[in-house]
Amino acid sequence: MTGTNEFAADQYELIPAAEIANRIGNLQKRLADDKLDAVLITHNVSILYWTGTMQTGYLFVPAEGEPILYVRRSIERAKQEASIRTIPLGSFSRFGETLRKDYTSLFEGDTPPLIGADLDALPAATYLKLASFVAEAYGDKTLPDRGLSRLIDASPLLRRARMVKSAWEIERIERAAQALEESLAESLPELKEGVTELEWIARVEYGVRRRGHIGVMRLRGYNQEVPTGMVGSGTAAAEPTYFDGPAGGRGLGPAAPQSVSMKRFARNEPILLDLGCCIDGYVIDQTRTAVIGELSDELKEAYKSAEHIIREVEKLMVEGARCSDIYNASLKLAADHGLADHFMGFGADQVRFLGHGIGLEIDEWPVLANGFDMPLEPGMVLAVEPKFTFPGVGVVGIENSYVITAGGTPPRALTRTKEQLFVL
């Protein structure tokens, strides 16, 4: 299935085989460096990243040798899309025997192989089964706990392996940014007093879907979901919710307690336009602030503070800079503006980050937060979102997505939408 990648085409573009080969090679080097014998990947997004297909199954990657994707469904489509060896899973209950047959040298040593797995996304019931299969593959059916002890958490390794984006990946994010910019430009004239948040975001979604948006924005976080965007006006934007972000939105009820509501846009209130788009699986994340009429002086100053913070953070986002240092610098800047209590939420609902990696998921590593002392590297893509929440009033802020560049130069913005307070 190859094509021009134009959404109107009746075919689509596959992930290049060379791209997959580079990813597998990088992963195998990391496995060797961490002294892991292999990794068992179960999460659909990670399977897509390392094979080129998202058909369900299990990907086994040894530190040395050929990886195999064991497909439950659909093997036919997986073979068309994947760039690695792809075979039917067969009986799941005999998966341990299958691994032993396909990787004899790995499972016939004097000690059980040390195998990692994506435990941050793996259901506990499936983990217990897979761990017992690993034990059986080693020939230990009487002591399955030995298998449990050898199936360890490789989630940090896998997330680090995806942090630096290739030119091919960055191009997809740029396509998403362009699609969102065009759709927003079409939709802004319809953002009028009396229109509901739901009605307006439906217009944005129509625009990005016509341009190839896949219809979802994937999140890795447990029990976290995100729609195409969070559009919140006035007090609705400032209402607290479970979503791990600086502004969640009122939502449509207890079953959807985030993002847009049935509230109608009104004059002289802040309207937060936190929007995304996903092309070929890759997301762009951006925020702009709008108002029908005029903002209060307090909110104008807060918006200017957000712009100032993002300008200063851009200067800090250079190769080698530590994520935690950038985050702490943003806290100081917010305090200098007298807005520390409103920065990235309010009260107990303040979030403890400034920005996050994006790619196939919207909550990738690295994160601009305490605890992330890793240095920035060229090719990392992050969304930076300084925002200020005023309970009972609204939220103002800005968000751009950037790719880190080499040689100490500032990051390159991938977001296409013009930076401004949109006065409608």
CA gap 423, 147 in Å, rounded = 61
51 occurs within a structural domain: yes
Q: What is the pLDDT of residues 392-409, one digit of tens each?
A: 999 999 999 999 999 999
Give the global pTM: 0.94
pLDDT at 140: 66
Question: How do beta strands 355-357 and 364-368 pair?
Answer: antiparallel
34 occurs within a structural domain: yes
Low-confidence ranges of the chain (pLDDT < 50): 1-9, 142-149
pLDDT at 148: 47
152, 224: one domain: no
3 occurs within a structural domain: no
Of the residues 101, 131, 160, the one at which a domain ends:
160
12 occurs within a structural domain: no
Tell me the CA distances in angstroms from 221 to 58, 199, 224, 362, 390, one per residue in order: 20, 28, 5, 9, 26
Q: Residues 309, 315, 320, CA angle at the centre, nearest 5°? A: 125
Of the residues 137, 160, 183, the one at which a domain ends:
160
139, 214: one domain: no
Region class of 117: left (phi > 0), else alpha (psi between -120 and 50), else beta: beta
CA gap 236, 220 in Å, rounded = 26
Question: How do beta strands 68-73 and 85-88 pair?
Answer: parallel
228, 119: one domain: no
145, 218: one domain: no
296 occurs within a structural domain: yes
CA gap 9, 404 in Å, rounded = 33
Helix (H) or strand (E) holding 314: helix 297-316
40 occurs within a structural domain: yes
Q: How many domains does the chain have?
A: 2
148, 230: one domain: no
189, 280: one domain: yes
pLDDT at 4: 31
178, 116: one domain: no
342 occurs within a structural domain: yes
291, 352: one domain: yes
CA gap 202, 33 in Å, rounded = 48
**What token pair was written down for 214?**
């896949």
Range of the domain at 258: 163-423
217 occurs within a structural domain: yes
Of the residues 160, 182, 204, the one at which a domain ends:
160
Residue 371 main-chain phi, psi, to 5 deg? 95, -20
With beta carbons less than 8 A apart as the criterion, state whether 165 and 280 touch.
no
412, 353: one domain: yes
Question: How do beta strands 115-117 and 394-397 pair?
Answer: unpaired
139, 187: one domain: no
Helix (H) or strand (E) holding 121: none
- The CATH number covering residue 356 comes to 3.90.230.10
74, 176: one domain: no
Long-range contacts of 62-65 (CB under 8 A, 24+ apart): 62/28, 62/31, 62/37, 62/38, 62/103, 62/106, 63/28, 63/31, 63/32, 63/36, 63/37, 63/38, 64/28, 64/32, 65/103, 65/106
With beta carbons less than 8 A apart as the criterion, state whether 414 and 174 touch.
yes
CA gap 129, 311 in Å, rounded = 50
pLDDT at 1: 42
**What token pair was written down for 139?**
């020939």
DSSP secondary structure letters along 187-219: HGGG--TT-BHHHHHHHHHHHHHHTT--S----
CA gap 109, 420 in Å, rounded = 63
213, 350: one domain: yes
